[in-house]
Structure 1
Amino acid sequence: MIENMTRWYELSLLLHASSVLFYFIDFLHHNRKANRIAFWLLSIVWGMQTFFFIERMIETGRFPVLTLVEGLSFYAWILITLSLAINRLLRVDFIVFFTNVLAFFILALHTFAPAQHASAGIAERLMSELLMIHITMAILSYGAFSLSFIFSLLYLIQYNLLKKKKWGKRLLRLGDLAKLDDMSYILNGIGLPILLLGLLLGVVWAYMKVDHFSWYDAKVIGSFSVLAAYGFYFYKRIVQGVQGKEMAFWNIGSFLFLLVNFFLFGTLSQFHF
């Protein structure tokens, strides 16, 4: 029974992660369809969390907020409720997205907290699953960033061919500049929220499993620096309106730094292998 409930908690977390991804797509492109999908996914999460909360209330015979784990559950429920209300009443996309990111982090803490599970074996297995989810999400984001890097590289090659007026089949096969730039942007839009959520899960795992977790660890600093680099990419693109060659160079530089973080900083880390 306990293990079945754990699976439902994990499903809730997965749906929440999908909701965050769609909210980010809406945030970037003002896509109402993505917003509706995100809203209904989050509504399902809200329904599941409400059920879990009521079940816990019946089980304990009190309002379940007295322990840290219960408090995290209630806090996550409050954030999800506020997010749904803001989405419907105010439509402030920026606030909705970051409220959901915070709610996801709190929900992850609650789901994988060892005190949540009566069996030490279940708690240990969940820690392993949490680590696998963290690694999988990080690698998925790296895949999106890799493809984005290739599109930016093709953009610069195409740009150079056009500037030198080298017409031919190669020019046609590369595609037009606008499409290459847009594909790079879209792939980064997929990779960034996945990396963000993956890092949040990694922090949860490290706090629960690493004896002397440090924010000054080389891989931790490097990973959040990669996140900041791609975050600045979107700042330049959306806020400053920069496109084209400058963004292609920034994207390529961000990806090269990602490779440095992956291959070098991991070897300098105290707990990444």
Structure 2
Amino acid sequence: MIEMSLTRINELTILVYALCVLLYFIDFLNNNRKAKVTAFWLLSIVWLLQTIFLFTRMFETGRFPVLNVSEGLYFYTWVLVTLSLVLNKLIKAEFIIFFTNVIGFMMLAIHTFAPSQYESAAVSSQLILELLFIHITMAILSYGAFSLSFVFSVLYLIQYNLLKKKKWGKRLLRLEDLSKLDHMSYVLIVIGVPMLLLSLILGVVWAYLKLPNFHWYDAKILGSFTVLMVYSFYLYNRIVRELQGRAVAVWNTASFLVLLINFFLFGSLSQFHIWNS
């Protein structure tokens, strides 16, 4: 009973932490104060849940829980979260805070879903299944964000061509203005990229725990990281090179084609992926 309760605390922590990392990514890119404040409070909740877990383990074992790899990993994650909270208040270091919490999320996922720490085989199997469920759900949500972003980019290109050819009419009036289409496409990618990153982290953790012959060169793994890279390059062009408009809309459209290739072709070539069945 206690083991399952602690497991549920960790699963809740994972979900809150994922949302926190997403908001820190938005703040990292856009210097969004609302996202930063919300992320700070979510990180505080993560810290509180982790602290409850640590004290419960201390009460259960009668010692400070750092005497094995699993316990040490959890305490390491707690330290990262604590340092992130302190840095958040002391300095403006969005880059450091975001990537620190990406590492923290990865370590917490490994600790939470590693079967070796659970006495019950049933609990261990259930956690592995739930890890897979979270991984797939986050991947699909990120793909949904990319799909909507693709729609906005296509509408942008249609609007752009209509204006360039000076074709005024009802079709033009029914479309949003170019700046809004461009902005919405960008916002959806800002949401999709960190969500896909977290999904891939959970997917790799699942593969290491579940598969006896896990290979990084599997078609689905390479394809998924390629999708992450092409959309990250979109953000690079948008933020660092300050490209907007038609150029990034075309790149976004091409990126969506890469996504489709990964989803349908690489999924069928994968040796283990769940969608291959």
**1:35 corresponds to:** 36
1:103 partner SS? helix
Query: In 1, Cα distance between the equivalents of 2:234 and 2:135?
Result: 23
Deviation at 1:54, TM superposition (A): 2.2
2:244 partner SS? coil
Deviation at 1:68, TM superposition (A): 1.1
Query: In 2, Cα distance between the equivalents of 1:54 and 1:132?
Result: 29
**2:79 corresponds to:** 78
**1:61 corresponds to:** 62
1:257 aligned onto 2:258: yes
Deviation at 1:267, TM superposition (A): 1.0
Name the % identity. 66
Query: In 1, Cα distance between the equivalents of 2:130 and 2:141?
Result: 16
Query: In 1, Cα distance between the equivalents of 2:67 and 2:6?
Result: 21
What do the CA deviations read for 1:79-120 (whole angstroms, capped 9, x no partner)?
111111111111211111111111001000111111222100
2:119 partner SS? coil
1:176 aligned onto 2:140: no
1:135 aligned onto 2:136: yes
**1:231 corresponds to:** 232
What do the CA deviations read for 1:58-87 (whole angstroms, capped 9, x no partner)?
332333212111011011111111111111
Query: In 1, Cα distance between the equivalents of 2:239 and 2:185?
Result: 14
Query: In 1, Cα distance between the equivalents of 2:27 and 2:68?
Result: 36
The gaps in structure 2 that reach 5 residues or longer are: none
Amino acid in structure 2 at the alignment position of 1:264: L
**1:22 corresponds to:** 23
What do the CA deviations read for 1:174-211 (whole angstroms, capped 9, x no partner)?
11110000000001111111111111000010000011
**1:270 corresponds to:** 271
Query: In 1, Cα distance between the equivalents of 2:193 and 2:109?
Result: 19
Query: In 2, Cα distance between the equivalents of 1:255 and 1:99?
Result: 29
Query: In 1, Cα distance between the equivalents of 2:41 and 2:117?
Result: 27
Deviation at 1:55, TM superposition (A): 2.3
What aligned pairs does 1:126-205 form with structure 2 within 5 A after superposition? 126-205=127-206
TM-score by length of 2: 0.96
- Contact persistence 2:9–2:53 (CA under 8 A): no
The gaps in structure 1 that reach 5 residues or longer are: none
1:243 partner SS? coil
Runs of 4 or more, structure 1, over 3 Å off, are: none
Q: How many residues align?
A: 273
Deviation at 1:167, TM superposition (A): 0.9
Amino acid in structure 1 at the alignment position of 2:107: I
